[in-house]
Amino acid sequence: MSEVMNMPKQKRFSEMRNGSENFSPVSNSGKPQENKGIVTSENRNANLHPTYYKKEPVGRVVATEKCPNTAQSFSFWTNLDSPVGIGTIVKIESDKIYLDKKNKEFKRTVYGIVTEGISYTDLDSPLNDYISSGYDPVSTHSAQTERPEIRYYTASVLKMEPEEPIQPVPIGNVFLATDECVQKSLRMDSYPNTQIPVGLYINGDNHSPVYLDSNFLLGPEAAHLNVTGVSGLATKTSIIEFLMASITQNYKCNGGVATILFNVKGYDLLFLDQPAENLSAEELKMYKTLNMEVKPFENVKYYAPYRSDGVNLNTRRTNEALVNDVSPLSWGLEEIFDHVQVLLNKDDIDAKADAFLSLLKENIINKEKNPCYCVHKKIKNFNDLEEWFQLVNIQIEGEGEGSEGKTQWKGHATATIRKIYNRLMNIKTRCKGLVTNDSNTQDLPWGKFKDKGVYVVDIAGLIPLAQDLVFTRIVEELKKRLEEKTLGVEKVVVFVDELNKYASSDLGNSYLKQTLLEISERGRYLGLILFSAQQFKSQVHKRIVGNCGTSIYGRMDMDELASQGYSIMPQSIKAELTVLEKGKLLIRHPHFNQYIFVKFPRPPVMTSQEGAKKFPPAQAMGFEDAMVRNFKRLDAKIKANNVKDAIHDVDKEEVIRAFNETERKAKENHLEYFKNRALKQKAVRNTFEETHSPCAGGATIDDWLND
């Protein structure tokens, strides 16, 4: 014992802390104490996983009266060169060894994440340093003794082992987290069969995969995802594309899962079927670490309405190499009437207008003949509806039998009827290209959705009113078919960008906002999952973002972070978010007790910038050339001259109607079906083969050649 007491003070304290064989605690009587509950060299590494000791401790837990440790947070110090920073995951092992109920020894283990860090020296006042430097910051004069400096960190608890009883964090050494520690600290070891890779936790050379739990991302336990961040720098679209690829490659669902994405701006989602270019070696290594393949989506289908001319698709995916994968989206009266409120002004939908719309739905639209209501044939499209309004108008004007005068018709004011007539007929003009007059409609493959299928609806070129209609009608149809189990898959992920526009907290209760609220609150029971993104989360309806089980944050502005919704976020995390680099995100997930920084590679698909350069969109074409391109979209072998001959001098509306019918019904020989079955008005000009055949004009082929 005398050897220990004769040691230098600093060395003696080190021996005591590290449990040296030279040190054994003594009682007041001077006799060695029993080593029960005390760390020694003999029991320090007993029965502990060797992974934990691959690296030396980087710091030590410290607690003072003014800054004590709690069950939720703790403090520790490190050396100046320690690789610890904001967001670092650490592991603490208690110095003491405890006994469980079975008298088995164990150490308490705590996992935490650094949320704050400070550094200071033993200076009482800045004036002391000013004097000791000789009043000159560039002076070669230095103090006689080097001032000690400390790095002091505060961390939040992620997990404790054992979890019961809940106690303050014990004193012990601090280690950097290994892969196994990251798995345990984020509780990812509790869901090995439902892991969806989202990125990597990186600290120095340590690259640990981070997984989301599909049961809490896609249901049934929790659902929905929200991404927020500034435009261009937050990589919101990129993380959505990466997560989609991750779900496609890793999610296991017996009933199948499909994805519908609404492209609301530019080229964002138009190249999901094209491989990524120029991925770096580091990004390829990240894919390997995450056990993911670098490949684009294999089962992608694009949909877009026509432009107002009815023949050119309203999308930027019109390059000759890509346009064949785009299907038109056109709806008629039957498809949109249930959602007509989306297209009408709030001032239009009063009690009287609502009552007349109910009459149309219950007694007129697609109903059997009923002369009492002027229904002499089934009203299936806008052309039929316009004819019906004309018959009603005749009765109102008193020119036909059953007239009730000019003030009412079947109990409805004539002013209300005319207002609804004007609004409904105006839909064809405002949404021209999307809404068709006849019954030749084209839609998503309802009832035939495929597992891992990706369906992109490009509405970037539509006016906001038409965008609202597309979104509302598709989501309502999804809800209906998922409830009836007639969609083809068990779950559907719906991605909506620019949520600030569609579900702003500043606006009233629009029809579209109510639809989004319905998804966020009850969608997971049906298997309808909402993935959304926006720039300002604080300006989105609280119930929509509040029901999202997983939240992701990219680079953000301080103005946004100063809002009430971020009050619980540590100040150091907020500061980090304002300078966050591309590809790095902050994640909150039900299994993670705290916010976690992760880094992810670029998605395995071509970016919008690369795609726009490689596949520039074709210019809008004239009527004949556009029809040639449309026919080639159905069959690349069809000749341009044959198409032009078939539509020469035929009314454009008739050509469009016949083509839409051909696209819906013909499985092969599309041009022949178009000419012989769909087209009611025949072309004036015959084809080259017809006009120059041996029997044309009664001449033989030899006569024609001699001429």
pLDDT (tens digit, 9 = 90+) per residue, 672-682?
A: 999 888 888 77
> pLDDT confidence of 632, banded at 50, 70, 90?
confident
- Strand partners of residue 528: 492
Closest alpha carbon to 185 in 170, 163, 166, 207: 163
> pLDDT confidence of 507, banded at 50, 70, 90?
low
Residue 101's pLDDT is: 76
Looking at the structure, tell me whether residues 602 and 641 fall in a common domain.
no
Averaged pLDDT for residues 155-167: 91
What tokens does 641 get?
């001259």
Closest alpha carbon to 583 in 607, 559, 557, 612: 607
Q: What confidence tens digit (pLDDT) does each residue in 35-63 have?
A: 444 333 334 333 433 433 346 899 999 99
For helices 511-526 and 464-484, angle between their N-to-C axes, nearest 10 degrees: 30
Averaged pLDDT for residues 464-492: 93
Averaged pLDDT for residues 134-153: 76
At 498 the three-state DSSP class reads coil
Q: Enumerate long-range contacts of 59-68, CB under 8 Å, 24 or more apart.
A: 59/84, 59/90, 59/151, 59/153, 59/173, 59/174, 60/171, 60/172, 60/173, 60/174, 61/92, 61/169, 61/170, 61/171, 61/172, 61/173, 61/174, 62/152, 62/171, 63/168, 63/171, 68/168
**pLDDT-wise least confident of 138-152, 186-200, 469-483, 621-635:** 138-152
Averaged pLDDT for residues 436-463: 92
DSSP 8-state code for residue 59: E
**pLDDT-wise least confident of 169-173, 413-417, 685-689:** 685-689
Looking at the structure, tell me whether residues 494 and 606 fall in a common domain.
yes
> pLDDT confidence of 636, banded at 50, 70, 90?
confident
Q: What confidence tens digit (pLDDT) does each residue in 532-560 have?
A: 999 999 999 999 999 999 999 999 999 99
Between CA 601 and CA 433 the distance in angstroms is 39
Going by DSSP bridges, is the β-strand pair 105-106/98-99 parallel, antiparallel, or unpaired?
A: antiparallel
Decide if pLDDT at 113 tops 90: yes
Averaged pLDDT for residues 631-654: 89
Per this entry, what is the length of the chain?
Answer: 707
Q: Is residue 134 part of a domain?
A: yes
Looking at the structure, tell me whether residues 249 and 225 fall in a common domain.
yes
Looking at the structure, tell me whether residues 538 and 636 fall in a common domain.
no
Q: What confidence tens digit (pLDDT) does each residue in 281-331 have?
A: 999 999 999 999 999 999 999 999 999 888 999 999 999 888 888 999 999
* Structural domain of 239: 196-275+444-566+574-612
Residue 399's pLDDT is: 55
Residue recorded with tokens 């890793």: 250
**pLDDT-wise least confident of 17-21, 421-425, 432-436:** 17-21
Looking at the structure, tell me whether residues 550 and 669 fall in a common domain.
no
> pLDDT confidence of 32, banded at 50, 70, 90?
very low
**pLDDT-wise least confident of 11-15, 116-120, 197-201:** 11-15
Between CA 602 and CA 606 the distance in angstroms is 9
Residue recorded with tokens 């509306």: 653
Q: Enumerate long-range contacts of 506-513, CB under 8 Å, 24 or more apart.
A: 506/539, 508/346, 510/468, 511/339, 511/341, 511/342, 511/468, 511/472, 512/342, 512/468, 512/471, 512/472, 513/541
Decide if pLDDT at 24 tops 50: no
Burial (CB count <10 Å: 0-12, 13-18, 19+), residue 537: buried
Residue 136's pLDDT is: 77
Residue 141's pLDDT is: 58
**pLDDT-wise least confident of 76-85, 144-153, 159-168:** 144-153
**pLDDT-wise least confident of 36-50, 259-273, 297-311, 361-375:** 36-50
Averaged pLDDT for residues 68-80: 93
Residue 40's pLDDT is: 37
Residue 513's pLDDT is: 86
Q: Is residue 420 part of a domain?
A: yes
Averaged pLDDT for residues 503-529: 86
Decide if pLDDT at 633 tops 80: yes
Burial 445-468 (b: 16+ CB within 10 A, else e): eeeebebbbbbbbbbbbbeeebbb
Q: Is residue 426 part of a domain?
A: yes
By the 8 A CB rule, do 32 and 24 touch? yes
Between CA 143 and CA 166 the distance in angstroms is 48
Residue 396's pLDDT is: 83
Q: Is residue 258 part of a domain?
A: yes
Q: Enumerate long-range contacts of 322-328, CB under 8 Å, 24 or more apart.
A: 322/270, 322/615, 323/618, 323/629, 323/633, 324/632, 324/633, 324/636, 325/273, 325/300, 325/301, 326/302, 326/458, 326/633, 327/301, 327/302, 327/303, 327/442, 328/303, 328/304, 328/442, 328/660, 328/663
Q: Is residue 648 part of a domain?
A: yes
Closest alpha carbon to 610 in 598, 618, 602, 599: 602
What is the three-state SS of 368-422?
CCEHHHCECCCECCHHHHHHHHHHHHHHHCCCCCCCCCCCEECCEEHHHHHHHHH
> pLDDT confidence of 454, banded at 50, 70, 90?
very high
Q: Specify the higher pLDDT residue, 235 or 589.
A: 589
Looking at the structure, tell me whether residues 181 and 201 fall in a common domain.
no
Averaged pLDDT for residues 366-393: 88
Q: Is residue 86 part of a domain?
A: yes
Please report, rounded to a whole number, the percentage of residues in the chain having pLDDT higher than 90: 46
Decide if pLDDT at 124 tops 90: no
How many degrees, rounded to 5, is the angle at CA 179 between CA 176 and CA 181?
60
Q: Is residue 493 part of a domain?
A: yes
Averaged pLDDT for residues 137-145: 65
What tokens does 21 get?
């064989």
Residue 307's pLDDT is: 92
Total domains in the fold of the chain: 5
Q: What confidence tens digit (pLDDT) does each residue in 327-348 have?
A: 999 999 988 888 888 877 766 6
Residue 183's pLDDT is: 94
Looking at the structure, tell me whether residues 153 and 133 fall in a common domain.
yes
- Strand partners of residue 23: none
Q: Specify the higher pLDDT residue, 387 or 54.
A: 387
Between CA 135 and CA 121 the distance in angstroms is 19
By the 8 A CB rule, do 237 and 497 touch? yes
By the 8 A CB rule, do 586 and 596 touch? yes
pTM, rounded to two decimals = 0.83
Decide if pLDDT at 483 tops 70: yes
Sign of CA pseudo-dihedral 622, 624, 625, 629: positive
What is the three-state SS of 73-87?
EEEEEECCCCCCCCC
DSSP 8-state code for residue 315: S
DSSP 8-state code for residue 135: T
Averaged pLDDT for residues 600-612: 93
Residue 140's pLDDT is: 54
Looking at the structure, tell me whether residues 379 and 463 fall in a common domain.
no
Residue 374's CB is within 10 A of a number of other CB atoms, namely 21
Residue 484's pLDDT is: 93
Looking at the structure, tell me whether residues 222 and 173 fall in a common domain.
no
Averaged pLDDT for residues 402-416: 76
Burial (CB count <10 Å: 0-12, 13-18, 19+), residue 401: exposed
> pLDDT confidence of 105, banded at 50, 70, 90?
confident
Looking at the structure, tell me whether residues 266 and 212 fall in a common domain.
yes
Residue 524: what residue type? R
Between CA 40 and CA 107 the distance in angstroms is 13
Looking at the structure, tell me whether residues 158 and 18 fall in a common domain.
no
Q: Is residue 305 part of a domain?
A: no
Decide if pLDDT at 503 tops 70: yes
Averaged pLDDT for residues 365-394: 87
Please report, rounded to a whole number, the percentage of residues in the chain having pLDDT higher than 70: 86
Residue 580's CATH number: 3.40.50.300
Looking at the structure, tell me whether residues 578 and 659 fall in a common domain.
no
Residue 21's pLDDT is: 42
Between CA 176 and CA 705 the distance in angstroms is 90
DSSP 8-state code for residue 211: E
